[in-house]
Each structure stands twice: as structure tokens, then as C-alpha cells.
Amino acid sequence: MDVIKIKGTDDTPNVILDAQNNIIEFSGRSLPEDVATFYAPIIEWIIQYAKTPNPKTNVVFKLEYFNTASSKMILDIFLKFEEIHKDGHDVMISWYYQEDDEDMEEACDEYADIVEIPFQKYSY
């Protein structure tokens, strides 16, 4: 599978999608001008990954900020991983948030309510 590496900017996150090394990671800020265009190749990658997923998938989110339009795209990403989980594969989400960032911690709880995948929260 192709590896996707997107270097983060002040309005787009750093993204690593690397099936071979089993790294799926999002970090930084997400408020792109056009969320749909930014996230489309990422969603497409996950759809391809779902065909032959690794035995264990750990999806790492370490975002310091995302806007509301991105929140919708992040949910779409989780829903794609949920399908992999429902197919009987081992999938978990690791959600990192800054220690005093209540909004980011709450966002994790909300996603965990909606999506049927185990979430693990880590403060840093």
C-alpha cells in the first residue's frame, strides 16, 4: 500500500498513513481552507486499508486544535475504522490531549460515545 505522509502546516495537520510500519497518526492543527479536499485522499486510503488491515491497528490522534468542519471529517475517519473493527479486526484509537485542555478531552469522550471502537485517552 502507498504511504501517505503530509507535513503539517499552521492550518493543516501532520498526517502519516503507513500500513507497512503500522503507523496511522494525525497531529497538529486542522482548519484547512477546504476540508473535503484535504481529507478526501485520507478517507480513500482508509477504504483501501480496510481491504487488508493489519492484525492490530492503533490510530493515533494528537491534535492541538481542530475547527468544526474538521470535526465532521474526523468523525468520518473514525466511522471508517469502525467498519474495520466490526469486521472483526483489532482497532483502537489513542487520543492525546494537553493536560489542561478540557475541550479536547471532552471531544474524545464525545467521539467515543458515537463510535464503537475502544478509545484510550492520554494527557501530555
Partner 1 sequence: MEQKSVDYMKLIYSFHEEMLQNDFTLVYEGEITHQITKAFTSLAENNMERMSEDTSIKKKVFHVMVECLQNLSKHSEENNLTKYGGDPVGNGIFIVGKLGESTNQQYHVITGNTIENEKMPELQALLEKINELDKEGLKEFYKRQMLEGTLSEKGGAGLGLIDIARKTGEKLEYHFVPVDDNNSFFLLRTKIFRKQLD
CB-nearer residue toward partner 1: 11 or 18: 11
Q: Mask: binding to partner 1, 15-54, rule CB under 8 A, as x and -?
A: ----------------x-xxxx------------------
Cross-sheet strand order for the sheet of 119-123 = 4-6, 14-18, 23-30, 56-66, 90-97, 119-123
Position among 102, 120, 122, 123 found at the interface with partner 1 (CB under 8 A): 102
Residue 80 to residue 74: CA distance in whole angstroms = 10
Residue 113 to residue 60: CA distance in whole angstroms = 18
List of residues contacting partner 1 (CB under 8 A): 10-11, 31, 33-36, 65, 67-69, 71-72, 75, 100-103, 110, 113-114
